[in-house]
Structure 1
Amino acid sequence: MKFAVRSRSAHGLAGVQGPARVHRRTANVQGRFRAGDVAVLDHVDMDRETAQALIDAGVVAVVNASPMISGRYANLGPERLVEAGIVVADSAGPEVFDRVKDGTPLRIDGGAVHAGDTLVATARALTDEVVRDEMGKARSGLASQLESFTHNSTEFLRREEALLLHGNGVPAIATEIAGRPVVVAVRSHGWEEELRGIKPFVREQRPVLIAVDRAADALVGAGHKPDVVVVTGASDDLPSAAVLRKARDVVVLVERGASRTATEPFERLGIRALRFETTATTEDAALLLASAREASLIVGVGMHATLEEFLDRRRSGLASTFLTRLKLGPDLVDAAALPRLYDGAVRPRHLAGALVAGVLALVAAVSVTPVGQQWVDELAPRVTSATSHLIDNVEGMLP
Structure 2
Amino acid sequence: MKLSTLLRRRAAGTDLGGVVRLDRRTKNLTKRIRPGEIAVIDHQDLDRVSAEALVQRGVAAVINVAATVSGRYPTFGPQILLDAGIPLIDRADGELFDTLTEGDRVLLERGTVLNSRHEVLGKGELVDQQALDSQLAGAQAGLSDQILAFTENTMNYLREEKDLLLEGVGVPEVKTVFEGRHVLIVVRGYDYREDLAALRSYITETRPLLIGVDGGADALLEAGYVPDIILGDMDSCSDAALHCGAELVVHAYRDGRAPGLERIERAGLTAVVFPVLGTSEDAAMLLADSKGAQLIVAVGTHASLVEFLDKGRSGMASTFLTRLRVGPKLVDAKGVSRIYHSEVKVWQVLLLVLSALVALVTAMAFTDFGRQVGDLLVARWNDIVYWVKELFT
TM-score (norm 2): 0.85
Superposed CA deviations along residues 247-271 of structure 1, whole A, max 9, x for unmatched, are 3421111112335887344234221
Superposed CA deviations along residues 89-108 of structure 1, whole A, max 9, x for unmatched, are 01112512233222222221
Q: Distance in 1 between matches of 2:235 and 2:259?
A: 17
3-state SS in 2 of match to 1:138: helix
Tell me which residue corresponds to 1:333: 331
Q: Is the 8 A contact 1:301 1:335 kept in 2?
A: yes
- RMSD in angstroms over aligned alpha carbons? 2.9
Tell me which residue corresponds to 2:382: none
3-state SS in 2 of match to 1:336: helix
Taking structure 1 as reference, are residues 134 and 210 closer, same or farther at Cα in structure 2, changes over 3 Å only?
A: same
Q: CA deviation at 1:199?
A: 0.8
Tell me which residue corresponds to 1:342: 340
1:30-41 to 2 correspondence within 5 Å? 30-41=30-41
Gaps of 5+ in 2: 361-365, 373-393
Tell me which residue corresponds to 1:50: 50
Q: CA deviation at 1:358?
A: 9.2
Which deviates further from its counterpart, 145-154 or 24-33?
A: 24-33
Which one-letter code corresponds to 1:144 in the other structure? D
Tell me which residue corresponds to 1:230: 231
Superposed CA deviations along residues 9-59 of structure 1, whole A, max 9, x for unmatched, are xxxx93022111121222433322100101111111111111111111110
Q: Is the 8 A contact 1:16 1:108 kept in 2?
A: yes
1:141-220 to 2 correspondence within 5 Å? 141-220=142-221
Tell me which residue corresponds to 1:239: 238
3-state SS in 2 of match to 1:229: strand
Q: Distance in 1 between matches of 2:308 and 2:42?
A: 22
Q: Distance in 2 between matches of 1:354 and 1:312?
A: 51
3-state SS in 1 of match to 2:3: coil
Taking structure 1 as reference, are residues 144 and 38 closer, same or farther at Cα in structure 2, changes over 3 Å only?
A: same
Tell me which residue corresponds to 1:297: 295
3-state SS in 2 of match to 1:36: coil
Tell me which residue corresponds to 1:76: 76
Q: CA deviation at 1:381?
A: 11
TM-score (norm 1): 0.83
- State which of 309, 315, 335 in structure 2 corresponds to 1:317: 315
Which one-letter code corresponds to 2:322 in the other structure? T
Q: CA deviation at 1:353?
A: 8.2
Q: Percent identity?
A: 38
Taking structure 1 as reference, are residues 158 and 275 closer, same or farther at Cα in structure 2, changes over 3 Å only?
A: same
Q: Is the 8 A contact 2:94 2:121 kept in 1?
A: no
Q: CA deviation at 1:379?
A: 6.5
Q: Distance in 2 between matches of 1:86 and 1:46?
A: 14
Taking structure 1 as reference, are residues 340 and 276 closer, same or farther at Cα in structure 2, changes over 3 Å only?
A: same
Tell me which residue corresponds to 1:389: none
Tell me which residue corresponds to 1:396: none
Tell me which residue corresponds to 2:363: none
Taking structure 1 as reference, are residues 259 and 327 closer, same or farther at Cα in structure 2, changes over 3 Å only?
A: closer
1:103-122 to 2 correspondence within 5 Å? 103-116=103-116, 117-122=118-123
Q: Is the 8 A contact 1:45 1:67 kept in 2?
A: yes
Q: Distance in 2 between matches of 1:162 and 1:83?
A: 45
Tell me which residue corresponds to 2:130: 129
3-state SS in 2 of match to 1:345: coil
Q: Is the 8 A contact 2:178 2:288 kept in 1?
A: yes
Superposed CA deviations along residues 73-115 of structure 1, whole A, max 9, x for unmatched, are 2111111111110000011125122332222222212212222
Q: Distance in 1 between matches of 2:155 and 2:253?
A: 19
Q: Distance in 2 between matches of 1:261 and 1:14?
A: 45
Tell me which residue corresponds to 1:395: none
Q: Is the 8 A contact 2:38 2:60 kept in 1?
A: yes
Tell me which residue corresponds to 1:257: 255
Q: Distance in 1 between matches of 2:297 and 2:20?
A: 40
Tell me which residue corresponds to 1:394: none
Taking structure 1 as reference, are residues 161 and 247 closer, same or farther at Cα in structure 2, changes over 3 Å only?
A: farther
Taking structure 1 as reference, are residues 379 and 137 closer, same or farther at Cα in structure 2, changes over 3 Å only?
A: farther
Which deviates further from its counterpart, 349-358 or 182-191?
A: 349-358
Gaps of 5+ in 1: 363-375, 383-399
Q: Is the 8 A contact 1:29 1:50 kept in 2?
A: no
Superposed CA deviations along residues 164-193 of structure 1, whole A, max 9, x for unmatched, are 111111111101110000000111242111
Which one-letter code corresponds to 2:7 in the other structure? V
Q: CA deviation at 1:132?
A: 1.1
Tell me which residue corresponds to 2:7: 5
Q: CA deviation at 1:273?
A: 1.1
Q: Distance in 2 between matches of 1:67 and 1:259?
A: 31
Which one-letter code corresponds to 1:207 in the other structure? P
Q: Distance in 2 between matches of 1:79 and 1:307?
A: 19
Taking structure 1 as reference, are residues 267 and 119 closer, same or farther at Cα in structure 2, changes over 3 Å only?
A: closer
Q: Distance in 2 between matches of 1:334 and 1:189?
A: 12
Taking structure 1 as reference, are residues 177 and 347 closer, same or farther at Cα in structure 2, changes over 3 Å only?
A: same
Q: Is the 8 A contact 1:27 1:236 kept in 2?
A: no
